[in-house]
Structure 1
Amino acid sequence: MASVASCRYRNQEPAMNCIIVDDEEMSRAIIKHFVEQTQFLHLVGVCPDAITASNVLRDEAVELLFLDIEMPQMSGMELVRSLTVKPQVIFITSRTDYAVEAFEYQVADYLVKPVTYARFLKAVEKVRDNMDLHTLSQQNPRDIYVKTDAKIVKVNLNDLLYVEALADYVILHTAGGRHIVHSTMKGIEKKLNTGDFARVHRSFIINVEKIEAIEDLSILINKKYIPIGASYKDAFYKRLNVL
């Protein structure tokens, strides 16, 4: 399975190339069947061990890796650590005790055997949506794309006033309204990786260009007073070059 076929999905966008790595034949067969039932996936390799997989990864443009953890010679964790260019990774394992360590490698998901197709599909759809958002954002670095409810919304960074944390969500306040997104502040900070934004409180990220005034320990933006956290104050004032 070395060649890449011209499978298509959505508006004629290319399918995601993926490989399966598992030393259990039955597990490989089940995941292979799931992949073949999923229109936006294209299988380019099925590997019985991590060493074989590392060779496939050198030869093929792989975007998604279905990976067992406990395998002879080289574990799934060791394979991930060895990769300089990392595809999206979904661990599929019979063990639950590796989950915390697995997510330290920023894997897309962690599935525990036996895996149902519904759970498999949920995981790969999350990967697909994240890759779509990343691709869209790369087209214009002044735009970010966020998922709100059932739609994807484009937010121009010039219009973004500030970001506010709300439990498991964040609110993006813009000149034209607000968007509620299921994300963490850390995740949004990564998207706002430009010099225009500053974390000023554990619950607020601001657009520095939108500051109207700073009064005591508050920042005025668009008639809203935003608190400055004590642990963020010195770094924020230093950034503004306040004497």
Structure 2
Amino acid sequence: MNCLIVDDDEFSRNVIKHFVNKTDGLTVLEETDNAADAFTVIKTKEIDIVFLDVEMPEMTGLDLMKTLDDMPQIILVTSRASYAVEAFEHNVTDYLVKPVNYARFLKAVGKAEANLKASNITVENQDEVFIKADNKIVRLRLSDVYFIEALSDYVIINTDTRKYIIHSTMKGLEKKLPESDFIRVHRSYIVNFTKITSIEDTSVVMPSKTIPIGASYKNRFMKKLNLL
């Protein structure tokens, strides 16, 4: 699992880095001393776990989480236990109080690993998926899906007849859907290519909604079009 360590204190970063390096299955992909750089890393690289300090100058760890649509597993690392309540309101994976010991570190990593393995959507074949919604497992035909939109730590799967809200990330969902039919057009939207009725300059027109095309997704989207 790829890890990002974010802490403005070098000693604290080194402690977590030491723990990561001695744990099988973990890799320190990046480390940084500020939340702004962390935001860029999370958006551009495949990060599974973020060890995130809360108290940092300019932007706190909690502020960083508020900017993220697709959150990796977040393990907060801070010297003040008083942040615990607010942390879990943001659905963090776990909360470590400094000084962190290795046993407690492993427990937090175990939670993150379990969350990553627990899938809320399983592709049975290229035509159908099973999703966990409304306290049951539902079979869903991909051809019935019009678009998918982000909602904090959830996603909404929109069909022609109803919406399904599931606990997942756009990044994780994007990897599981067939590229032949689905494409991400915005950080908050994945569309079924076969359901598009028309394309305007900066938006995709679906039967029930007009969806913006994000600047960073436009080039890839336009390459997929079979223009005459």
Q: Which residue of 2 aligns with 1:18?
A: 3
CA deviation after TM superposition for structure 1 residue 38, in Å: 1.1
Residue 130 (str. 1) matches residue 115 (str. 2): yes
CA contact (8 A) 2:6 2:13 kept: yes
CA deviation after TM superposition for structure 1 residue 54, in Å: 1.2
CA distance in 2, matches of 1:62, 1:19: 7
**Matches of residues 81-160 of structure 1 in structure 2 within 5 Å?**
81-134=66-119, 138-140=122-124, 141-142=129-130, 157=137
CA distance in 2, matches of 1:101, 1:129: 22
Q: Please, which of 45, 58, 70 is the counterpart of residue 43 of structure 2?
A: 58
**Unpaired runs of 5+ in structure 2?**
139-161, 163-228
CA distance in 2, matches of 1:56, 1:132: 22
TM-score (ref. length: structure 2): 0.54
**Matches of residues 148-227 of structure 1 in structure 2 within 5 Å?**
157=137
Letter in 2 for 1:17: N
* Dislocated runs of 4+, deviation >6 Å: none
CA deviation after TM superposition for structure 1 residue 131, in Å: 1.2
Looking at CA atoms only, which structure, 1 or 2, has the larger radius of gyration?
1
Identity of aligned residues (%): 46
CA distance in 2, matches of 1:127, 1:91: 12
CA distance in 1, matches of 2:82, 2:102: 22
CA distance in 2, matches of 1:40, 1:113: 23
CA deviation after TM superposition for structure 1 residue 143, in Å: 7.9
CA distance in 1, matches of 2:108, 2:123: 25
CA distance in 2, matches of 1:105, 1:114: 23
The change in CA–CA distance for 1:52 and 1:134 in structure 2 (over 3 A counts) is same
Letter in 1 for 2:46: A
CA deviation after TM superposition for structure 1 residue 37, in Å: 0.8
The change in CA–CA distance for 1:142 and 1:54 in structure 2 (over 3 A counts) is closer
Deviations 1:151-203 (A, max 9, x none): xxxxx959xxxxxxxxxxxxxxxxxxxxxxxxxxxxxxxxxxxx9xxxxxxxx
Letter in 1 for 2:77: I
TM-score (ref. length: structure 1): 0.51
Q: Which residue of 2 aligns with 1:44?
A: 29
CA distance in 1, matches of 2:123, 2:28: 27
The change in CA–CA distance for 1:55 and 1:157 in structure 2 (over 3 A counts) is closer
Q: Which residue of 2 aligns with 1:68?
A: 53
Letter in 2 for 1:39: D
Higher RCO (CA < 8 A, seq sep 6+): 2
Instruction: Give the SS at the match of 1:40.
Output: coil
Deviations 1:55-93 (A, max 9, x none): 212221111110000000100000000112111100000
Residue 34 (str. 1) matches residue 31 (str. 2): no
CA deviation after TM superposition for structure 1 residue 138, in Å: 2.0
Deviations 1:96-140 (A, max 9, x none): 1110000010000001000101100011011101211227x5245
Instruction: Give the SS at the match of 1:71.
Output: coil
CA distance in 2, matches of 1:97, 1:76: 14
Instruction: Give the SS at the match of 2:76.
Output: strand
The change in CA–CA distance for 1:96 and 1:138 in structure 2 (over 3 A counts) is same
